[in-house]
Amino acid sequence: MRILIFGATGMLGKDLAPAFAGHEVTGLGSRDADLREEHQILRVVQGARADWIILSAAYTDVDGCETNPERAFAINRDGAIHVARAAAKSGSRLIFISSDYVFDGEKRTPYETDDPRNPINVYGRSKAEAECRLLEITSDCCIVRTSWLYGIGGKCFPDTMLRLAKTQPELRVVNDQHGCPTYTVDLARAIAELTRSQTSGIVHATNRGSCSWFEFANAILAVKSPQTSVLAVSTAEFSRPAKRPAYSVLSDRSIRECGIELPTWQDALASYLRQRND
């Protein structure tokens, strides 16, 4: 297969190319292709002649999206539309990486793929609107919702915790937001499997199980910095531009129906921590 990856220099993108070992992979970063430039995207896509396009590029700074909504929608929604239109014209299949933040967090059981979208921040709205438009443009696209991504060589929660632990004896972490931490290596492998099975529609892909940010932080520091204590605090104690859903756990039913089972978040975290050099 020929694979074209938008966002290849990002945290997930860096793990996508190895997941497609043995295939012809073209990886593009933001310097190679600006999602906001439709004609440029069409030219790149037509030149690649890809069987599958993986759109993992996005403006993922949730607070940044809140303060700069124009940029958020230009990249996350309009950029996705540009790629989808180019894919449709070129006969390429598309996988779009979306987010748990398309939901409002009001449920207390895992979100299924057909639960109503109701985002509560700009980032979530930009992703939700992109999903709707992509399904109109290309009915055979695959939308992969994931959550709480972390990986080697990228800005992520475990990296932040370990960096702060070097200088602070106690860290304050929210205990009233719950989700599914997801290791980019595992997600990349799942995405590769989805292309091989020619999957379309909406799929939720995360590591199995769920936790709060507080529980996640404790699991990280217990291995790498056991001398650091973690204090549980509420979201209300942090002043952030963007609201976060209190519960954004994604059901794994759809990914299991594709014959794919990701490791637990605890096993995935152990793998990530072993891969770190510190």
Residue 2, judged by CB atoms within 10 A of its CB (0-12, 13-18, 19+), counts as middle
Backbone angles phi, psi at 172, to 5 degrees: -100, 125
Whether the Cβ atoms of residue 128 and residue 121 lie closer than 8 Å to each other: no
Q: Is 272 a catalytic residue?
A: no
Locate the DSSP E strands across 56-106: 93-99
Q: For residue 82, give the nearest of 37, 46, 51 by alpha carbon.
A: 37
Residue 148's region, left for phi above 0, alpha for psi from -120 to 50, else beta, is left
Distances (CA, A) of 37 to 82, 97, 137, 244: 8, 19, 18, 30
- Cα–chain center distance at 72: 15
Q: Which of 111, 123, 183, 272 is catalytic?
A: 123
Q: Which two tokens stand for residue 85?
A: 């239109």
Secondary structure class of 99 (helix, strand, coil): strand
Cα angle 142-105-253, degrees, rounded to a multiple of 5: 40
End-to-end CA distance of the chain: 37
- Residue 64: which residues within 8 A CB-CB, separation 6 or more? 71, 72
Block residue for tokens 């975290």: 269
Tell me which residues are annotated as active site. Answer: 123
